[in-house]
Amino acid sequence: MAEESVKLLGYWASPFALRVKWALKLKGVHYEYVEENLPNKSPLLLRYNPVYKKIPVLVHNGKPLAESLLIIEYIDEAWKQNPLLPDDPYERANARLWAKFFDEKCVPEVMGAFASKGEEQEKAAKARENLKMLERALEGKPFFGGDKIGFLDIAVGWIGIWGRIVEEIAGVSLIDAETMPLLTAWLNNFLEVPVIKACIPSWHELLEHNKGFHKILTGSST
């Protein structure tokens, strides 16, 4: 059998690259990690992702793929062990729907709370409202994937880290233990899973990095 080559182009502070790392680790896939020196995009990145010019990019046997959730679905289909998406078509559809909801309705609101000066409380309120809805997908299970971590867990899980960073820097509340007990419990469990925990970047480094971002986005001096 020919030797497989798997390369991941990423950025240490990107939650989207982290999602893909989590997927690869859960599948036990050996890969070469290439750190992009953002904002200076390498010729390799531009060649592999000419449409969006962004990380993460997965290159499997020389063939590139972009867009983190699509990459995760690909990983699930190319490597059959430890399935991430459920077998049942309806459950698969629900997992995809919730991941889409999270990316389109929760993430922009969280980014909005982080990037705005003066409107952060309103945007955070909207973010909380949408994040709360995710609890419907948990339905009393320990993980979105049921007894084990699945696609939706790794799609959403990063909010546990970045959410706390936004809370600290912007002075807002996003994941409230009182009003979101299920989500809070799930996050605490998820982030403690060894394979997940091992990939998370240093809290202090992430915080400093994002403080810098926040200054630029809000034009404020901290």
Binding site for another protein (CB under 8 A): 51, 60, 63, 65-67, 70-71, 73-74, 77-78, 89-90, 92-94, 96-97, 100-101, 133
Between 43 and 89, CB nearer to another protein: 89
Q: C-alpha distances in angstroms, 198 versus 18, 141, 192?
A: 11, 23, 9
Q: Nearest distance from residue 80's CB to another protein, in Å?
A: 10
Q: Are 167 and 210 in contact (CB under 8 A)?
A: no
Question: Among 213, 77, 205, 97, which Cα is nearest to 155's?
Answer: 97
Between 78 and 182, CB nearer to another protein: 78
Q: Nearest distance from residue 171's CB to another protein, in Å?
A: 29
Q: Nearest distance from residue 97's CB to another protein, in Å?
A: 5
Whether omega for the bond prior to residue 15 falls within 30 degrees of 0, making it cis, is: no
Between 12 and 101, CB nearer to another protein: 101
Between 86 and 112, CB nearer to another protein: 86
